[in-house]
Chain A
């Protein structure tokens, strides 16, 4: 594929069209080639192992009754409740299998969003069973804070994204035949060029913004609208937005209210709805005790029940927990248990929302 190049300056006897047409043709081919590296040509679907192929919320209500929300058509619950929820806290998502999903190179990310996270640490783990099956396991600590821990499986709401290998981007569009100086333009070539560029623009616009304040920004749920590294300022007792970027101004983090130890409210600049997925990662450095065993781990919970809209802004709460902080952890005499309490530490956020 020729390089993307300058439109040639006109010559007296080759005034404009053949050379200029050919360069335009090559440039559109170049753009399509670049676009096709990590996108499906016509649909614009992202096609990269580092981008979720399907992403959404797994909701659970009393019963328990599980439902999927915001996932694309790839994800489903199949076989009835006993099949997709065979045990407390265990949830099986069914996928269409190869070629869209190919284990073992599939990857899953999950964020426990249980309302239990308001008062206790919660976890969700994953297991890629095969091309068409990913299982999730959710737990919560039910012993209360600052007492000996007891973890149990819990049917929990959680956010999840599932990644897999590249698939075929489909057949590329054609852009007409190459014309050189002295040759005339052909109607069929010009029509192909116009059709081809329309295909490329259509694919790009399906998952990216081509107008607005950030042209080129991603506009699909599978890619985060906002990411942020958030740091704890222990001197001033507040959280700072230390690094962030966003693809939607409304999804930019506007403020972080500190409601007490390990309890925050994050407000976005605008309304991106309440059907969002938030993935939080502790940047807390685990501490190792004198005996060589871990004494402290961070856990971040983002309860879906605490996602709301307030005065035209999407807001959500973040709860941070730390294990074993200065409690019963002296090496001699041996500790008898490990305890969790609220804590403050650095963490990251990744916020996904509906296309705007």
Chain B
């Protein structure tokens, strides 16, 4: 019988993930872990988690892993990779972590061309703390700290991190993907592979932004959430490649 879905060896065998039902963090995690399996780099991988929902992955990622300070994952990854350039080092960060408190660290890790990979999960909200407004929250989007909708005249428009990172010379691979459909999951996996290979080839900084859902804090069913992602997020955050390297 053909195996259609396989649990990655980079996930702890007996530990369930702790994401809310319907949240796409689970798909994203299994996808990048499968890339690690396929590249055969699990045993030399040092994972750098983050603070927020991304910070739960020390529970279930089956590699050496460190839980850094909020937003500082790229700095911690810099210290790791500079001391152990023979290891594979990536960060897994949400939009509150990376696009708000951690903007200096992500920009300067890219600017130095650190040989690390970054998985940036954008679900337009602070999931772990209960659905507050993030820099990525869409105009008019209601959150617990923008109860009347994000007012762009006061708070500005959402920040587009992939576009920003792509302007930096040290960033060699930048792509925005989504996991709202099987076809897009396949594309996401391809982008993650290319980002990880960028590091393995010692080319420089690589960055994959993944549009993700937060059914719990959006107050939607998983299916409605995917639909909302497609109709609202993809319009403001177009998926596609912003920067690639030559093979």
- A and B held together in a complex: no
